[in-house]
Amino acid sequence: MPVNLNLLPSELSVSKNLNSFLKTLRALGVIGVAAFLVFALGLGVFFIVSTISLNGINANVTKLRSQVSALQKSEQQIILLKDRIAKIASIKTMPNSLPGLTAIKPFLSDLSDNSSINEMSISPTAITLSENIKTKADISSFIKSFQSSDVFKSVSLTSFNFNPSNGYSVEISAVIK
Amino acid sequence: MKKLLDGLPESFRRTISAGIPLVVVLVLFISVGKFGVSKVIDIRSQIKSAQFTESVLAQKLNLLKNISSVVSVGAVSAASAVPDSDPSLTVILQLKTLAMQNGVVVSAIKSSSGMESSSGLNQAAISFTADGVRSQLFDFLTGIAKIAPVTIVDKIQMNETFGSEEADIGVKSYWAGFPKTMPSVDSPISDLSQSEKETLSEMSGLIQPTFTLLSLPKSSEVNPNPFGQ
């Protein structure tokens, strides 16, 4: 029957528990070294691959930059165009009297030849109109046309006079929508 | 060192010799990890930034290639619609041409330049008197909206005598300096939006002024005796 002999001097021997702990410690050391080597190698490979990838992208960026620079004239034109479009959009918001003229135009074209405009003032917000209308039928249709229309925010008949020789004289003030 | 270790108990010496590789590995993990990981993070952020720049440039290149024909025509119309200098003379020329086409007589033309507004626009105010038949005068006034440079009718004051209208009209036209700086090559650029395309279409439809270039006499054609003596 084999017998385990401990030939070490008694001062060099260690307890059984410590011995197993040391074994574990050594094993952990070996595993740690292996893990570190794998980690360092992986990190290195990843770094190299990333650097190659970055160089490739940078080369492509440089190529694209030169291509974009070659089309600088088109870029200048698009910037100018966008700037002018923004300016025009800003101009469009400025007060304009033409919508007032467009709004009042149908009312004036319906008048007969006997009627005449004394004075008309169109501003971006309001219209004042002074007219001479000869016949009762004309004045009636003129006023009715305003009643049936919704192009103005409000219409005020500021003056209404009748003279047998000149007919009706009306003054209208309208606020544009 | 050896002497110092020899003086220590055997169990302690063995623990140290078994633990040193683990400690060294831990120190290496920490130092290499700290340095290496920061380098990798740095290069990944560089890649991300480069990829973004690459996609911006690719999109920009594609846009510039496809839009160039539309833009080159549009830029001319746009520069004519809102010029970079006082457009008073051009507007007066356009008004006279429009008046002539509509049988309206334009007179007493006055022009003044206004201050720059907050939106960077300078205005030129032009006032004039227009005489003509009512329908023609209305057509003339409506036509002002269709001329380049962009002109707005500010006020209309009309009087009618014997079937003929006399109108005091005030119009405003605008100008603004062209952009002076270009964005960097890497900055993104967007395509024209639907509303911008509509405005561009309107601008392209504006009536452009027609100028006549007077031919100057050649040097050989200079009259050597201009006073006829």
Nearest CB among A47, A80, A120 relative to B39 is that of: A47
DSSP state of A70: H
Please, which pLDDT band fits residue A166 given cuts at 50, 70 and 90? confident
* CATH number of the domain where residue A109 is located: 3.30.1360.100
- At A10 the pLDDT is 65
B71 versus A49: the higher-pLDDT residue is: A49
Please identify which residue in the block is written with the tokens 């900055």.
B187
Which residue among B26, B61, B78 places its CB closest to the CB of A32?
Answer: B26
pLDDT for residue B175:
92
Tell me whether B179 touches chain A (CB under 8 Å): yes
Confidence of residue A34 (pLDDT cuts 50, 70, 90): very high
Residues in chain A within 8 Å Cβ distance of B46? 54
Pair A106, A76 in one domain:
no
| Same domain (yes/no): A84, A155 | no
B5 CB-side CA count, 13 A: 8
The tokens describing B32, both together, are: 């290499």
Domain that holds residue A21: 15-94
State the pLDDT confidence band at B219, using cuts at 50, 70 and 90: low
Tens digit of each residue's pLDDT (9 = 90 or more) over B79-120: 899 999 899 999 999 999 999 999 999 999 999 887 666 678
Helix (H, G, I), strand (E, B), or coil: what is residue B130?
A: strand
Give B11's contacts in chain A (Cβ within 8 Å): 14-15, 18
Q: Give, in order, the Cα–Cα distances in Å from A94 to each of B59, B64, B79, B222.
A: 36, 33, 19, 51
Q: Is residue A57 part of a domain?
A: yes
d(CA A151, CA A138): 20
Of A68, A84, A102, the CB nearest to B64: A68
User: In this structure, are A19 and A86 located in the same domain?
Assistant: yes
At B47, which amino acid appears?
I
Strand partners of residue B106 = B130
**Which pLDDT band, with edges at 50, 70 and 90, does A108 fall under?**
confident
Q: Choosing among B37, B57, B59, B84, which should be mutated to test the A contact, i.e. which has the most A CBs within 10 A? A: B57
Say whether the peptide bond before residue B149 is cis (omega within 30 degrees of 0): yes
- Does residue A60 sit in the same domain as residue A113? no
Better-predicted residue by pLDDT, B116 or B78: B78
B172, HSE (Cβ side, Cα atoms, 13 Å): 18
Residue A5 counted as domain residue = no
Contact A18 B22 (CB under 8 A): no
Q: Which of A22, A32, A17 is nearest to B14 (CA)?
A: A22
Structural domain contains residue A20: yes
* Number of domains present in the structure of chain A: 2
Cα A33 to chain centroid distance, Å, stands at 57
One domain, residues A79 and A135: no
pTM of the shown model: 0.74
Mutation pick from B156, B180, B189 vs chain A, by most beta carbons of A within 10 Å, is: B156
Boundary of a domain, candidates A94, A123, A148: A94
Residue A91: which of B209, B11, B29, B124 has the closest Cα? B124
Task: Answer whether residue B229 shows pLDDT above 60.
Answer: no
- Range B163-190 burial, b when 16+ CB lie within 10 A, else e: eebbbebbbbbbbbeeeeeeeebeeebe
Give me the residue from B22, B121, B144 closest to A25, CB to CB.
Answer: B22
Residue in the structure block whose two tokens are 């101009």? A91
Residue A158 forms part of a structural domain: yes
Tell me, yes or no, whether A102 and A90 share the same domain.
no
Instruction: Tell me which residue of B146, B142, B29 sits closest to A122, measured CA to CA.
Output: B142
